[in-house]
Amino acid sequence: MWKLILLLVLLPGPAMAIEKPEYEVISSEDGIEIRRYPPATLAQTRVSGDFKQVGSDAFQKLGGYIFGKNVTEEKIAMTAPVTQTATGQDEYIVSFYMPSEHSLETLPDPIDGAVEMVEMPETYFAARSYRGGWSETKYRDHEAALAALVEGLKQWRAVGEPVWARYDPPMMPSFFRRNEVLIPIVRIAP
């Protein structure tokens, strides 16, 4: 039995399949993808604290919402990634993408006033993927590398704060975890 459990944890596929936002890859080169994301609905919360701890703090609020802590007690499917964006010194917005069959109009209102439902407009991101643990050092290294690559782009410029995207649950061995750094960008007029 333990071999089956280990196999399910280690192998990607239907056993671990959860919805992820769709996007179009505009270009891909030198470790950077330019992506176009269509509008999406997000549940988000603002949290203060340590870079690594805020994800756990936010999960209690956002997880509560999708597990039924909303006005209709509806359970909502978990999606990936969980995103985290700095908004100031030790302040972050942590977001869950809502399943694509939902909209702001069809989602139940949260009971917790710290959970907010928002519509993300069509957005372009420069993206860099990496595998491994969730240390701030690892994230900052990839964030700096992506920021340098974005600065070198001739047709795009950064327009917002970097976003840390985590795709896998905490029980996934750290060396298998898929992570990304996303920087919102806009096309520079010719």
- Same structural domain, 83 and 134: no
| Residue 4 confidence (pLDDT) | 34
| Residue 29 confidence (pLDDT) | 86
Q: What is the domain range of residue 105?
A: 40-120
Q: Tell me the two tokens of residue 2.
A: 């333990």
Residues 34 and 156: their CA atoms lie apart, in Å, by 9
- Same structural domain, 134 and 151: yes
Residues 4 and 19: their CA atoms lie apart, in Å, by 23
Residues 185 and 157: their CA atoms lie apart, in Å, by 5
Give average pLDDT by consecutive 10-residue segment, the chain, 190 residues: 40 62 94 96 96 90 96 96 93 96 96 97 97 94 96 94 94 93 92
In a domain, 8, yes or no: no
- SS3 state at 159: coil
Task: Give the domain-ending residue among 102, 120, 138.
Answer: 120
| Residue 189 confidence (pLDDT) | 78
| Residue 16 confidence (pLDDT) | 52
Among 55, 57, 75, 54, smallest CA distance to 66 is for 75
- Tell me the pTM: 0.88
